[in-house]
Amino acid sequence: MHASALPGFRDFYPENIALRNTIFAAWRTVAARYGFEEYDGPPLEPLELYTQKSGPEIVGQLYNFEDKGGRGVSLRPEMTPTLARMVSARAQGLKKPIRWFSIGQMFRYERQQRGRLREHFQLNMDVIGERGPLADAELIAAAIDIMLDLGLGPADVQVRLSDRRVIASLLQDAGLTVAQLPLAYGAIDKIEREERGRLRGRLIDGGLTEPAVDRVLEIGGIRGADAVGDSLRESANPDVGEPLMACVAALNDLGFAEFVTVDLSIVRGLAYYTGVVFEMFDVQGALRAVCGGGRYDHLLKALGGVDLPAAGFAMGDVVLGELLKYHGWTTGESSRIDGFLVAVTSKDTPVVLRLANDLRRGGLRIEYGLKSQSVVKQLKLAAARPAKTAVIIGPDERERNEAVVRDMTTGEEHRVPFDALLDHLSGTGSPVSDPTRGDNRIQ
């Protein structure tokens, strides 16, 4: 019987790992650049950690079971409850604001579709202990910077942001009660994905009048900071838009204006968001949101008992990987080794081994043949790896303490002293050096 991965789970062959490592490297590089510290938690958590946040209905989406100690447990579907638990445990001793990030594997038993599997790796970045709009802007800027590090620009991805406080104020101006806001949020969230007649019917069934329904859909269609400002001038709470405008101004000052659009159709589906919310999309519109998040000032108190404001976002590797492949990502240089060392005869092998160790300790990716083969076969293996260079060492080279270095792309060859190989293969030395230079020659 041929075994295969479970539905919605992935095998990571070397080319898949190369893509995953590219994504992880961008995540870690940008997070470090923004002063975030990395944390992690266990992939298996108490089931109640998730039912407490989302209710018992969440169980249908979980990989949960009873462990041998009789405890209800689940593979983690998200990171925020773990973050809340960890912060609560040390809240008094942590310097605020807390700037943490994690890269973890998440599991959800849900329907597979393009950009969504039953497992994925996810970047979470959160700022805890700061209510001001600069925290929101900092997170959005980091998400954009990750795209830039991966070679994507404003023609490829766009951030759409809004503010739950603004939407709530405008809806209440239209006569909606606090109890009716979740219904309106749900309709606005689907305003670009669902037929208007169905949305209207759902709102009317929820007790809204025809004029109120018209206004809900109108609010969901507001685009641009100026349009939001115009809508708030007649509001009962005209200052409610100040945090959103301050966030937009900060992103402009950071140099990201081309990436950002104010769009009140963005509400995020989760009920715990309390302020600025955002999502990032590919401009072509072929994929799910690349990332999303926002402000959740009351969630940590609900989950962990510590009352701290917070904002954060999550970015998954599945959609991001699809986006990079759409834009032509290939393993390229990340899969190439720097040099393949070729021993012409078996007597040349000891020199090859010593050089391999020296070059590897110098930080280069080096391979050599693991059995005695002809030079032709070794060069074929070097080309298949693929190697940037072949370093050929025979009796003459041993006698002269130098190697023949062949560029595997152009076929051009140079003689390089053994003690200059590291600089040459690293790209820091001249093509041909004095073979008598230095005192560290292999004898």
Residue 324 has pLDDT above 80, yes or no: yes
Asked if residues 164 and 277 have their Cβ atoms less than 8 Å apart, the reply is yes
Distances in Å between the alpha carbon of 27 and those of 141, 204, 257?
Answer: 13, 44, 22
d(CA 229, CA 375): 73
Residue 334 has a pLDDT of 63
**pLDDT, mean of residues 125-147:** 97
Residue (of 133, 163, 135) closest to 276 by Cα position? 163
**pLDDT, mean of residues 8-27:** 93
Q: Beta strand pairing status for 276-282 and 291-295? A: antiparallel
**pLDDT, mean of residues 191-200:** 89
Residue 439 has a pLDDT of 36
Residue 436 has a pLDDT of 33
Residue 51 has a pLDDT of 86
**pLDDT, mean of residues 142-171:** 96
Q: Give the model confidence (pLDDT) of 76-90 as tens digits.
A: 999 999 999 999 999
Residue 3 has a pLDDT of 79
| Number of Cβ atoms within 10 Å of the Cβ of 204 | 13
Residue 435 has a pLDDT of 37
Report which listed range, 110-114, 178-182, 312-316, 437-441, is most confident: 312-316
Residue 290 has a pLDDT of 95
For the chain, the structural domain boundaries read 14-326, 336-426
d(CA 288, CA 317): 12
Strands (E), 228-302: 260-262, 276-282, 291-295
**pLDDT, mean of residues 92-101:** 95
Residue 332 has a pLDDT of 63
Asked if residues 414 and 405 have their Cβ atoms less than 8 Å apart, the reply is yes
d(CA 397, CA 86): 60
Strands (E), 211-309: 260-262, 276-282, 291-295
Asked if residues 161 and 263 have their Cβ atoms less than 8 Å apart, the reply is yes
pLDDT band with cut points at 50, 70 and 90 for residue 443: very low
Question: Are 14-326 and 336-426 the same fold in CATH?
Answer: no
Q: Give the model confidence (pLDDT) of 251-265 as tens digits.
A: 999 999 999 999 999
Residue 333 has a pLDDT of 60
Tokens standing for residue 134: 């600069």
Residue 115 has pLDDT above 60, yes or no: yes
**pLDDT, mean of residues 345-353:** 96
Assign a CATH topology to domain 14-326.
BirA Bifunctional Protein; domain 2 (3.30.930)
Enclosing H/E stretch for 127 = strand 119-128
Q: Give the model confidence (pLDDT) of 410-423 as tens digits.
A: 999 999 999 999 99
DSSP string, 346-381: GGGHHHHHHHHHHHHHTT--EEE-SS---HHHHHHH
**pLDDT, mean of residues 25-53:** 94
Phi, then psi, of 203 in degrees rounded to 5: -70, -40
Residue 288 has a pLDDT of 87
Asked if residues 143 and 251 have their Cβ atoms less than 8 Å apart, the reply is no
Return the percentage of the chain with pLDDT > 70, whole number: 95
Report which listed range, 282-286, 318-322, 429-433, is most confident: 318-322
pLDDT band with cut points at 50, 70 and 90 for residue 433: very low
d(CA 126, CA 162): 18
The chain-wide mean pLDDT, for the chain, equals: 91
Q: Give the model confidence (pLDDT) of 388-408 as tens digits.
A: 999 999 999 999 999 999 999
Look up the CATH number of domain 336-426: 3.40.50.800
